[in-house]
Chain A
Amino acid sequence: MTDLMLLAPEITIVVTGLVVLLAGLFMSTPSKKILAYFSTLGCIIALVLTINSLGTSATLFSGTLGINALSQFFKLVFLTVTLLVSIASIKYTEGNSHTEEFYTLVLFATFGMMMVASAEDLMVLFVAFELASLATYALAGFEKQNPRSLEAAMKYFIAGALSGALLLLGISFVYGASGTTNISAVAQNADLLMSSPMGLLSVVLLIAGFGFKIALVPFHMWAPDTYQGSPSVVSALLAAGSKKMGFVAAFKVFIVALIGLQADWTIAFAILAVITMTYGNVVALSQTSVKRMLAYSSLAQAGYISMAFVVLTPMALTGGILYALSHGFMKAGAFIATAAVVYMVFKDDKKSEIPDHIDNFKGLGKRMPITALSLTIFVFALAGIPPTAGFVSKFILFSSTIESGFVWLAVIAIINSAISLYYYARVVKYMYFIPAEGERVSEPAPYVVALLIAVFGVLAIGFWPEPFVQMAMNAADVLI
């Protein structure tokens, strides 16, 4: 019984999802709004339960699941993002007859991510990984009438299926060489892996599998299309939540299980981090769709976080893990702000082809002041300007990189940050310095609430980094 209590946040999420799904069958479309509120409540309860269990450390079910500072920290990230998405979606799903399916999928995807964070066994990890993936495939294609949404889902699914296969192949090589799928047991049998060429092969295959979720170049190609085509709230979940699932899985598999092959995967991550951040930033420069721009910026951010694998000191991992939380707030916030803009555009013109075009952000400061101000804070945070979460995370990550002697890597990352300021500042320019082409629009309350929570998170980490850094440090201690 006490064992199950440790999984209380997960159980809350699953039960909420099931209740929403079943209750939705018997409800009329207008009254389904209540399901949205109910799901939000479920997220809040799960979040509180997770915060309460931050200090616990235990293993469950014959060592297949683990509760520790790392898993709970990432659950916190996932639940925060889900909470933001869930609040914002109250408006998005308004009057939609499939509200219950939307929320159930969001909650199941979250459940999958949380299980990945806790998984101590490669098979459990894979199944949870696929659970989250399958739910998000369906979410990406949620707008059935919209060909872009369907195309997004289809590309995401095919790339996902392929990557899933590579991931499974990688796991099977690990199992074949080490004779176990238990993460800590794999670490003990590291000699077997190192002596065999299968070691390197499995490393590369696993990187490809996780790189798909993290969106590392060249496994990223689905991401811009999918982020742009999906509903913005779903993009928020993908970029801010499911990407972090890739990271926590990679943290566990590489740093714990395959630490013996460190020499190989450090090089692989170094190459990918540099390519990914540079590619992401450079291509983001010429985007006219804000969601696409955010997609490429999220590639770049993934590149920064991947530096933690290269440096591999406790401080760098702290930076990377804290970056995951900060990025959750910043990116989810930015996509939700875009969702508010898309809502505004559709109000004027139902048939808009690219509702998130940068032209639609003209004079947003006058038309939707709260959204514009929040988005300004998010993009500046993404660029790493103090006093925001983005600055604190980048500072810890980059300074630890320099301290460990990887000056070249830090220089590349800093140059990249400088480049990124161009396209982030451009959004701000459109919002505040180019006159508006429309009336002021009243901002829907759910969007505003979600945005304000995200702003609060971004600024809280920026002004008061200490407790968050401490949490991330505890999480990093689990790995090393």
Chain B
Amino acid sequence: MAIEDLAFLIPILPALAFVLTFFLGKKLPSGGAMIPIAAITGSFLISIVITINMLANPEHVISQSYHWFSILNLGILIDPLAAVMLSMVSFVSLLIHIFALGYMSHDKAQSRYFAETALFTAAMLGVVLSDNILQFFICWELVGLSSYLLIGFWFEKPSAASAAKKAFLTTRIGDVMFLAGIILLFTDIFKLVNGTIPDGVYLLRFDEIFSFIPELSAMTATILGYEISHLTIITLLFFGGAVGKSGQFPLHVWLPDAMEGPTTVSALIHAATMVTAGVYLVARTFPMFLAAPQSLIIVAYVGAFTALFAATMGLVMNDLKRVLAFSTISQLGYMTLGLGMGAVIGAEAVGISIFHLINHAFFKALLFLCAGSVIHAVGTHDMRQLGGVAKVMPITAATMFAAALALAGLGIPGTRIGASGFLSKDPIIEAAYLFGEHGGSWFPYVFAIVAALLTSLYIFRLLFMTFTGEPRSDYGGHESPASMTVPLGILGVFALIFGALTTKVFNGFLSTTFLNDFVHMDFHELAGLGGYELAHTAGHHEPLLILWMPIIVALIGLLIAFVVYYLKLIDMSDIVSRNNPVYKLLYNRYYQHQIFTELFSIKFIYEGIALAGFYLEKSLDWIVSGISGFIIEAGEVLKKAQTGVIQQYATAIITGVGLLLILVELVTEVF
């Protein structure tokens, strides 16, 4: 049997594990954790074998469709893009599950935890291998649901419950846009095929969608006097979904609060699942974006802005996990920026962006697990109370240092020597430079480079504050058990060398995502539809300074952090004070919370509603309770017709016959 025949098992195994763990977990040792671990190991093995096979023959993708109903299908599509994501998701999820064995061992609701993470993994794997946009959306919603359950895992804590709600509602805004995009896409395509659909053609399968790109881009709508093609609207709506799921500005507000769940959940959400779903959505439908340049530009700007915006906030947070949360948002910004660069470098953008996504998955999972390890041992995540942890937890400290190197992106330009973050972030920044050079604006490049400086600064600040110096409070600590340190070690190795090992193959492999026996897109033609031209990147060389720029700023960041937080040469107390307006602005996260809840929500919505409600409430109340009251009252009255006396029943039947006769006669007469 070919491995392809097992591909459907990839999401099915964790889904089964969810059911089994949910019902039987309580009776098994360690909450039945072994079931999801075994299932995800299975998914991982199948994924990795498929990926390795595909490396040899990237044009041959796995595509299996099953008829669902009418013109919809269920199916799996594993092309290079999906194969890479599947391997990454199952691998990182597997390590996190193993780590959770130790981390969650004290929790009473262990079995529920493992069941929910299994569902989460299943949903994410389902997103990755969907071959049509509807199934994609269904799994996407499942991801949202399970993230809600997991963020609110400790639901008895009010902060966790409200964080879960916030995450659910915020991402829902994006989801609604995504759904609107699907509906618009479907109605458009339906109109285009004129209602006649040959057998075996499934309208929402990606290959069908892509084949309609020229027609979609020709359909236009006039909005506010501008002529906008339907393709632009659809892609922007899709991107709206991605903004919600991938925590891009302005829907990023849920991500920092999502820390309320167990740290392992944060690792799962931030590294392997959920947040990458948004980036994946754009990558999956990238040919559509290529033919809609306006959307691509917006993608680029949103990404670049988010990268910088989140990095500035990461700089001043004192909570270990919050720094990492803002770092995730910032890195997602890079990935989105990378995709937006498709406007100059075409489908190569998918390669560089997904490469960063994969590398980020490794080092971000590692960062979170390290933080989890520290929190597990020390019991606090306030960096102001930590310090000198490296002495008690050397393995954790070492692996976290490796992750920091990867995040800051240290390496030697022009070679393949460097931590994985370097090898993937650099191409994005270079692409942003190219974007500026080719007549786009320079904003993305400037934002990306400043964000790189801040990234290095905040992550080394975290490292020095936590692991070096003298303890700033009394904490007992011990190195974590092997079930926790082994995943750390594995991820640490990956964070350091994965990029160097794969950077050569990766781009070539991913570039076949849209050039294979399932879909075959001509990127220059797509760009032509959008009315622009792709740059010829081959043999292009940036000035030396530009090439070295990212590494220079990263080193500057490291240096500043070293001087300030390790040597403590500069007393920060002047700067870090409530009197400094910049610090205050950053510390309060640009007052987004205030803007969102107080100004926007309360002032405009609540008070607006309260005002309108003052007049409406009484009448609405009266109408609603009036109607329901009337119906229920009617029920009470009619109930009395049921006397229980059989003679009256018989009378009703006979009268019914008579009345029916008369009524039918009457109605026939009248009409």
Contacts and interface: CB of A to CB of B under 8 A. Distances in A.
B631 to A, nearest CB: 6
A155 B635 contact: no
Interface of A: 154-155, 158-159, 162-163, 166, 200-201, 203-205, 207-208, 211-212, 217-219, 221-222, 224-225, 263-264, 267-268, 271-272, 279, 282-287, 419, 422, 464-466, 469
Contacts of B224: none
A225 B657 contact: no
Interface in B361-390: none
A207 B657 CA distance: 8
Contacts of B69: 464-466, 469
Most chain B beta-carbon neighbours within 10 Å: one of A158, A204, A224 = A204
A267 B635 contact: no
Contact of A155 (B649, B656, B660, B667): B649
Interface residues of B, number: 32
Interface stretch (B127-135, B232-240, B293-301, B637-645): B637-645
Given A267-B667, A271-B663, A466-B67, A205 B657 contact: yes
Given A155-B649, A271-B660, A225 B644 contact: yes
A200 B653 contact: no
The 9 A-B residue pairs whose C-beta atoms are closest, nearest first, are A218-B656, A286-B635, A221-B649, A285-B635, A466-B69, A218-B652, A282-B635, A267-B667, A208-B657
B653 A162 contact: yes
Given A159-B646, A218-B655, A286-B632, A200 B638 contact: no
A264 B635 contact: no
A464 B639 CA distance: 39
Nearest to A263: B668
Nearest to B657: A208
Most chain A beta-carbon neighbours within 10 Å: one of B69, B632, B636, B657 = B657
A204 B663 CA distance: 11
Given A218-B656, A271-B660, A464-B69, A159 B668 contact: no
Contacts of B474: none
B660 A272 contact: yes
B650 A208 contact: no
Nearest to B665: A200
B70 interface: yes
Mostly, the A contact residues are helix
A267 B648 CA distance: 26
A163 B642 CA distance: 18
B615 interface: no
A154 B646 contact: yes
A159 B650 contact: yes
Nearest to B642: A224
Contacts of A466: 67-70
Nearest to A211: B656
Interface of B: 67-70, 628, 631-632, 634-636, 638-639, 642, 644, 646, 648-650, 652-657, 659-661, 663-665, 667-668
B122 to A, nearest CB: 17
A2 B628 CA distance: 59
A30 to B, nearest CB: 33
B664 A212 contact: no
Contacts of B628: 422
A91 B638 CA distance: 36
Most chain B beta-carbon neighbours within 10 Å: one of A268, A279, A285 = A285
Contacts of B67: 466
Contacts of A285: 631-632, 635
A464 B73 CA distance: 11
29 contacts: A159-B646, A159-B649, A162-B653, A162-B654, A166-B657, A200-B661, A200-B665, A204-B661, A208-B656, A208-B657, A218-B655, A218-B656, A219-B652, A222-B649, A225-B642, A225-B644, A267-B664, A268-B663, A271-B667, A272-B660, A283-B635, A285-B632, A285-B635, A286-B636, A287-B639, A419-B631, A466-B67, A466-B70, A469-B69
Contacts of A211: 656
Contacts of B642: 221, 224-225, 283
Contacts of A166: 653, 657
Contacts of A155: 646, 649
Contacts of B632: 285-286
Given A155-B649, A267-B668, 11 more contacts: A154-B646, A158-B649, A207-B660, A208-B656, A211-B656, A212-B653, A218-B652, A218-B659, A221-B642, A267-B663, A286-B639
Contacts of A469: 69
A400 to B, nearest CB: 14
